[in-house]
Structure 1
Amino acid sequence: MKLLILGGTEFAGRAVTESALARGWDVTVFHRGRHAAPDGVTSRIGDRTAEDGGGLAALADGAWDLVVDTWSGAPSAVRDTARLLAGRVGRYAYVSSCSVYVWPPAAGYDESAPVVMGSPDAGDVPYAEAKRGGELAVLDAIGEGRSLLVRSGLILGPWENIGRLPWWLGRIARGGDVLAPGPRETPLQFVDVRDLADWTLDAAEAGLNGPYNLASEPGHTTMGELLEACVAVTGSAARLRWTPAEAILAAGVAPWSDLPIWVPWSDPAHGALHGLGVGRALAAGLRCRPAGDTVKDTWSWLTSIGGTAPQRPDRPRVGLAREVELRWALLRGLVARRSGHARHPSGSACTG
């Protein structure tokens, strides 16, 4: 197979590139040259956002069996690329997002759920509209029969440049009391970036088309299992202090951004983020590795690059600010002294 990956040097694009190389495919990576492409690929340098219209010049010739596109910016960039390549590619796989569904979708939603409005001609628009516009751009230029829309849920794993799992690993590696959002049994759903890459290439090679929600089955792991795995792989002496969701919210700590990955179990957003219906992808061969493997391999990658994860410039940093956590720890200590004892940090009788 001849693959053209648009991106290919970071996170999802990097995982797709590595998966294709492992299969012995002929891989061309089109990127801006800001990060080194993996060994064994052909690099073509260009910038899809170039205002002079020449950013795609490096793609003026060549033909490929498959294009994989992970773009999340202006849909017009997907439109221009897809139109340029339409007559020279076999299939076009676009890594979209479950954010394209009207928010918040009910838990268990599948690919038939209502989607947001989008335009393939749009410039900079909010993330959900950008991903939907990108889908429409691919469908318009390539056609439904040759287009695969990978609507991913939460993506974790090596090469993550958003900072969610790396933040938890880094925080737990520092040790001490760690604010752990309860209850421990809160179910989580995500897809390891390598499983996403493998499934995308398998599905495209098999000739699949249309939209597929892509994540593990709901309840793949829990908040407790995930954070305890972080403690184990880092070898940390950190103490997870399980705290009720209502106490966390009352303190002004924001789910998802201050405490990455987590949203309260009772919040409708939990069903939208961790209750994705993935039956279609599972029936089409999706297999997800254990959450502990994702944690272990992310930590191995993180330590191999010095412990500091790369950060996408177009995404805000995530994670609880140290000063906020220090205020929480101080409050916890004051409460413990006033009551004369500290409640056990595990189970339902959580410290607040």
Structure 2
Amino acid sequence: MGRAVTEDARERGWDVTVLHRGRHAPPAGVTALHGDRTAPDGLAALAGGEWDVVVDTWRSAPSAVRDSARLLAGRTGQYTYISSRSVYAHPTPAGAAEDGALVDGSPDAGPVGYPQAKRGGELAVEAAFGGRGLLVRAGLIVGPHENVGRLPWWLDRTARGGQVLAPGPRGLTVQYIDARDLAAWTLDASVRGLGGAYNLAGPPGVTTMGDLLETCAEVTGGGAELRWSDPRRIVDAGIEPWTDLPVWVPPGELHDTMHRGDVTKALAAGLRVRPLAETVADTWEWLRRRREQGFEEGGPIREDLSRRGLDPDTEARFLRGE
């Protein structure tokens, strides 16, 4: 998400400053400041300077968001925090909007679970910026440069061809947002001075698992044969939704929580969502370039995350009916 925001801002001709730890080269054309937000002096590089908009993508201890927001409150016009729909209390009913019940959180907390961390970050921004704080509650984020390994795993799997375990039903809907669409809306909304919480994902009920996997198979051209399978049989076999089979969760409460959120408010505020085929094709092209550069199959997984995707032997045994 940080990369998508930076690239979009640069394309607009903005002067962009990034704060990062210096472990990777910064994007071209930006002012790079170094700092570790988990260290006592990690914000020293932000001691001076003024900004029109700050976009904060932090996902861990809320206290880091608290410290940044407090430090920049008098020198920033708008503070935008990339939060998550995970801040809603589980189970989240289908069609839940921004006024749904939320998990507990504290802006002063150290490392906590992901939902609590994102909610604590929201509270930190609200405390420091009030109405000048924008809370972007993102859904499932996909697109080029995804380093979680969800869409990249399906692309790699369909590219290998053969029989592919396709978790059903085929018409089960999925809800996601391309990072580039999320970035564009975020910057537009920040310039307009929008505040408060917005759910950010594509409209519910538009895209299905069938659409997603069939598009992956078509784009990769591996001759994959999708074997649609009953969700109860998949779960009974010990295959984990979401992790073994990325993006997919069977019908029920968890599916309603993950894939049926209300995004009416964001759509009314100008959210535009590109076609699924464009997201899939662009992500595949990016993965292919990485292969040419010597990166392994399976997607560029962050070091702090577990690798996603179903073990080939487990898939083969399931498809054989074992």
- TM-score band by shorter chain is over 0.9
The one-letter amino acid of 1:62's match is: G
1:238 pairs with 2:224: yes
Distance in 1 between residues matched to 2:74 and 2:48, nearest whole Å = 11
Q: Deviations over 1:84-139 (max 9, x none)?
A: 11111000000000000000110000000010110000001000000000001111
Classify the secondary structure of the residue corresponding to 1:301.
helix
Q: Deviations over 1:204-238 (max 9, x none)?
A: 00110000000010023110111111111111111
Q: Deviations over 1:42-93 (max 9, x none)?
A: 101111011xx11111111111000000000000111111111111100000
Distance in 1 between residues matched to 2:82 and 2:99, nearest whole Å = 18
Classify the secondary structure of the residue corresponding to 1:228.
helix
Q: Deviations over 1:279-300 (max 9, x none)?
A: 0000000010111111111101
Distance in 1 between residues matched to 2:249 and 2:303, nearest whole Å = 24
Q: Deviations over 1:158-196 (max 9, x none)?
A: 110110000100111111111000111111111111000
1:241-260 equivalences under 5 Å are 241-260=227-246
1:322 pairs with 2:312: yes
Q: How high is the sequence identity, in percent, across the aligned residues?
A: 61
Distance in 2 between residues matched to 1:292 and 1:219, nearest whole Å = 17
Q: Deviations over 1:9-41 (max 9, x none)?
A: xxx000000100110000011111112211111
Q: Residue 156 of structure 1 is aligned with which of 142, 165, 169?
A: 142
Classify the secondary structure of the residue corresponding to 2:152.
helix
Identify the residue that residue 2 of structure 2 maps to in structure 1.
13
Whether contact under 8 Å (1:75, 1:123) holds in the other structure is yes
Aligned positions, number: 317
Deviates more, 1:308-317 or 1:205-214: 308-317
Q: Residue 170 of structure 2 is aligned with which of 160, 184, 193?
A: 184
Q: Residue 100 of structure 1 is aligned with which of 87, 94, 114?
A: 87
TM-score (norm: length of structure 1) = 0.88
Identify the residue that residue 78 of structure 2 maps to in structure 1.
91
Q: Which has the higher contact order (CA 8 A, sep 6+)?
A: 2
Q: Residue 31 of structure 1 is aligned with which of 20, 34, 42?
A: 20
Distance in 2 between residues matched to 1:312 and 1:77, nearest whole Å = 20
Displacement of 1:314 in angstroms is 2.3
TM-score (norm: length of structure 2) = 0.96
Distance in 2 between residues matched to 1:81 and 1:310, nearest whole Å = 29
Unaligned segments of structure 2, at least 5 residues:
none
1:278 pairs with 2:263: yes
Whether contact under 8 Å (1:101, 1:116) holds in the other structure is yes
1:1-352 equivalences under 5 Å are 12-50=1-39, 53-142=40-129, 144-265=130-251, 267-306=252-291, 308=297, 309-331=299-321
Distance in 2 between residues matched to 1:159 and 1:110, nearest whole Å = 29
Identify the residue that residue 6 of structure 1 maps to in structure 2.
none
Classify the secondary structure of the residue corresponding to 2:16.
strand
Distance in 1 between residues matched to 2:262 and 2:99, nearest whole Å = 10
Give the aligned CA root-mean-square deviation in angstroms: 1.0
Runs of 4+ with >4 A deviation:
none
